[in-house]
A = this chain, B = another copy of it.
Amino acid sequence: MGDLERGRAKYDEVYGEGAADRLLAALDGWGSDIGRYGVEFNFGEIYSRPGLDLRQRQIASIAALVTLGGVEPQLTGHIKAGLNVGLSPTEIVETIIHCVQYAGFPRTINAINVAKKVFQERGVT
C-alpha cells in the first residue's frame, strides 16, 4: 500500500519541491501520524493511481472540497496545487462555479473568495 517515499515525491510534484517536508513539519508531534497518512495514502496511493491525470485529479479535489465546506485551508492548498499542475485560473474558477448546482451559492461564493485570495497572492490576473 501507499509508500512514504512515493507519497513524498507525488506530493512534491503536486505542491512543489520540499512541500511534503513542510507539511510533515507543520503537523509534527500529535499530528505526525495523520500527516504521514496524508502523504502515504493520499499521495503515495490515491494520487499515484493511473487512470486520471493530475489536472483531472485537481478538478475532482476542488469540487469535493467546495461541496464539503468549512475546509478553507485545504481548498487554498488544492487551488494552488491546481495551478501547479497546469490548470488555468479559468479552469479552477469554472470548477468552483460548476459546483453551485450541487453545493448551493454560499459554499460556492466562499470558495470563489478563497480562489480570489490565492490568485492575488500568486499575481494571477
List of B residues within 8 angstroms of A112 by Cβ: 27, 30-31, 34
Give the number of chain A interface residues (Cβ < 8 Å). 66
A115 within 8 A of B: yes
Q: Please tell me if the beta carbons of A106 and B71 are within 8 angstroms of each other in the complex.
A: yes
Copies in the complex: 6
Minimum C-beta distance from A41 to chain B (A): 6
| A95 CB-CB contact with B under 8 Å | yes
Structural contact, B38 and A105, CB atoms closer than 8 A = yes
The list of the 10 closest CB pairs from A to B, nearest first, reads A70-B70, A63-B63, A51-B94, A71-B106, A60-B63, A64-B102, A74-B106, A67-B67, A52-B94, A64-B67
